[in-house]
Amino acid sequence: MPTNDELATLLEEMADLLDAKDVEYKPTAYRRAAENVREHPKPIEELAAEGPDAVAEIDRVGDAIATKLVAYVETGEIEELETLREELPVDMAALTSVEGVGPKTVGTLYEELGVTDLDDLETAARNEEIRAVKGFGPKTEQNILDGIDFARQAHERTLLGKARPLGEAARAFLAGIDAVDEAELAGSNRRWKETIGDVDVLAASTDGEAVVDAFLDWENSTETIESGPTKASLRTGDGVRVDLRVVDPSEFGAALQYFTGSRDHNIHLRNVAIDRELKLNEYGCFDVSAVDDPDTGQRVGERVAGETEAGMYEALDLPLIPPELRENTGEIEAAREGSLPDLVTEDAIRGDLHAHSEWSDGDATVEEMALGAAEFGHDYLAITDHAEGPGVFGNTGLAADEIREQADAIADARDALADAGHGLELLHGVETNVSADGGLSTPDDVLAELDIVIASPHAALDQDREPATDRLVAAIEHPQTDILGHPTGRMINQRPGLSPDIDRLADAAAESETALEINANPSRLDLRDSAVRVAVEAGAVLAIGTDAHRPGAFAESRYGVHTARRGWAETDDVLTARDIDGVRAFLD
Ligand code: DGT
Ligand code: CA
Ligand code: CA
Ligand code: ZN
């Protein structure tokens, strides 16, 4: 299963860590070996099956390194590497991406100052701690400071909301190439992770070179990073890397399974296979029970699956595990027991309970928003403009009298919708603010007149865990609150937001029948996937809302749905998957 490239990367990591620990000679040996491993024409994995001696035949790969490579192929781990990682728990890739910072510097700064990541590095430089370390001076310190911002940008992961459409465009482009039988997204994009390191696409074809050539001419490509007969990487105008792999149609399912990951899911699955005398890799699932049997003399296992992804799981007596669940957080066990959740789907969503209009900071009128929701296919929409309060952008929030005025505008929009023959149910709500102490910024009597109340934190987002939890629990327990909006207030890649005790929020929400929002805005995805899972286990209800500020944003609902799926949510867990009667019953 590990590719030559993966094995080479591991050796390079060993080299960096040994370098950081000031070990002599070995790092160079590991780097040279890595180079030859990467360039080796045959899969090292096949040599490993014959034992360390066969691997040691490779130029510059000695017995010690060969033994480690075999161990990795067999167990997914190299003991010495694991030990090194524990001794030096640093984000080596991020730190060494700062100009002038190499593995040795990383090692020294970890030993002397406990620097493990870019944030630590920046703090140490700002506090002028680095210049005090032997061998460093004010100039080096300033250079490091200068390099951090750029390194950080380069390390920033792309939002799913950008990477997903890009991946879908790449897939559609590939599917349109004559030589391509089938194309599919893989990697974190297919798993709908909130941020994406790079976009992975897979194409089934017997003519790799034709596909690679066409791919490199894709209109979105501004730079070819690398290319070969069956794979290529390019960069798009906005700096996102797209990796293509072309595989034989008979191996498409195996490759799709392999390249969808996650790595941890695949390692676990590979171990399940080993227990059954099967072997998984990107080419298929192989029965190796008779390999090494002196009677049969079999050297290579017979392939039992690989054409389809479902077949790969079936070969292990498992149902197909949805990509969103493949994070090795219990999904393989659940699949084995037949207890995989029946995940909520995009189609199950019936309406949206969080949207803004021109009345606060939205771009469109109430009627335009309502029409947009109807066209998107929703049965109902709640207009929930901002109430005035701290943290609401540019004083756009509504005061009590304005909220009452808006009720008339909503009534007019209902009439207009009915006249135009739209069956959409329009609810009138508000997104009010949860103050630092848990109070709401709109008077109770005003809230009581509305169909729906979202309470969201917009300010004081740097509170400590305990006061933040108390604050949010108070908002959940407020009798007028129907939904706790974007509970943490985080903005992905921009600000971390609150980090409340999600167990307590989930219990309070379940107890007081307040829904927790999964804000589907791709910059928020709040609650995040892991918190959704806690909420689901506590029996809390989830409301997927787009927080739309324009009609086109209703389509972002899918990011909320897939975040819900990554949190193991079923249809019953989701308020916005209920029909309008079900929603009204919940709101009352
Ligand atoms: P990302 O790009 O950081 O958001 O995360 P992924 O999951 O897309 O990771 P990526 O792009 O490095 O590789 C895509 C998938 O392919 C990954 O989830 C697992 C699989 N894969 C690729 N290369 C390797 C490898 O060398 N070893 C293992 N175990 N899995 C790999
Ligand atoms: Ca990727
Ligand atoms: Ca990749
Ligand atoms: Zn908000």
For ligand 3, the distance from its centroid to the CA atom of residue 116, given in whole angstroms, is 25
Q: Find the angle CA(212)-CA(245)-CA(286) to the nearest 5 degrees.
A: 140
Separation between Cα atoms, residue 451 and residue 196, nearest integer Å:
38
For ligand 3, the distance from its centroid to the CA atom of residue 334, given in whole angstroms, is 28
For ligand 4, the distance from its centroid to the CA atom of residue 385, given in whole angstroms, is 9
Residue whose CA is at the smallest distance from ligand 1 atom 3? 197
Residue whose CA is at the smallest distance from ligand 1 atom 20? 259
Smallest Cα–Cα separation from 129: which of 142, 114, 113? 113
Residue whose CA is at the smallest distance from ligand 1 atom 5? 188
Residue 495 burial class via C-beta count within 10 angstroms: exposed 0-12, middle 13-18, buried 19 and up: exposed
Separation between Cα atoms, residue 131 and residue 82, nearest integer Å:
31
Domain boundaries, the chain: 4-155, 158-247, 252-337, 346-587
Q: How many residues does the chain have?
A: 588
Cα torsion 496, 497, 500, 502 to 10°: value is -70
Is the domain covering 346-587 a CATH 3.20.20.140 domain?
yes
Give the model confidence (pLDDT) of 70-118 as tens digits: 999 999 899 999 999 999 999 998 898 788 899 999 999 999 999 999 9
Separation between Cα atoms, residue 199 and residue 166, nearest integer Å:
8
Give the model confidence (pLDDT) of 104-157 as tens digits: 999 999 999 999 999 999 999 999 999 999 999 999 999 899 888 767 766 678
Does residue 262 have a cis peptide bond before it, meaning omega lies within 30 degrees of 0?
yes
pLDDT category at 297 given cuts 50, 70, 90 is low
Encoding tokens for residue 454? 């979202």
3-state secondary structure of 182: strand
Cβ–Cβ under 8 Å, residues 307 and 300:
no
**The domain at 252-337 falls in which architecture?**
2-Layer Sandwich (3.30)
Minimum mean pLDDT range among 54-58, 266-270, 289-293, 503-507: 289-293
For ligand 2, the distance from its centroid to the CA atom of residue 525, given in whole angstroms, is 19
Give the model confidence (pLDDT) of 199-223 as tens digits: 999 999 999 999 999 999 999 998 9
Tell whether ligand 1 has an atom less than 6 A from the beta carbon of residue 328.
Answer: no
Cβ–Cβ under 8 Å, residues 542 and 314:
no
Closest ligand to the CA of 360: 4
At position 327, the amino acid (one-letter code) is E
Cβ–Cβ under 8 Å, residues 2 and 45:
yes
Separation between Cα atoms, residue 220 and residue 205, nearest integer Å:
22
Ligand 1: nearest atom to the Cα of 157: 4
For ligand 1, the distance from its centroid to the CA atom of residue 200, given in whole angstroms, is 9
**The domain at 158-247 falls in which architecture?**
2-Layer Sandwich (3.30)
Question: Between 1.10.240.10, 1.10.150.110, 1.10.1470.10, 3.40.30.10, what CATH number should domain 4-155 receive?
Answer: 1.10.150.110
pTM beyond 0.75? yes
Same CATH topology for 4-155 and 252-337: the answer is no
For ligand 1, the distance from its centroid to the CA atom of residue 40, given in whole angstroms, is 20
Closest ligand to the CA of 196: 1
Tell whether ligand 1 has an atom less than 6 A from the beta carbon of residue 187.
Answer: yes
Ligand 1: nearest atom to the Cα of 3: 26
Cβ–Cβ under 8 Å, residues 19 and 87:
no
Among 263, 267, 312, 325, residue to substitute to test ligand 1 (most atoms within 8 Å of Cβ): 263
Q: Find the angle CA(486)-CA(487)-CA(488) to the nearest 5 degrees.
A: 100
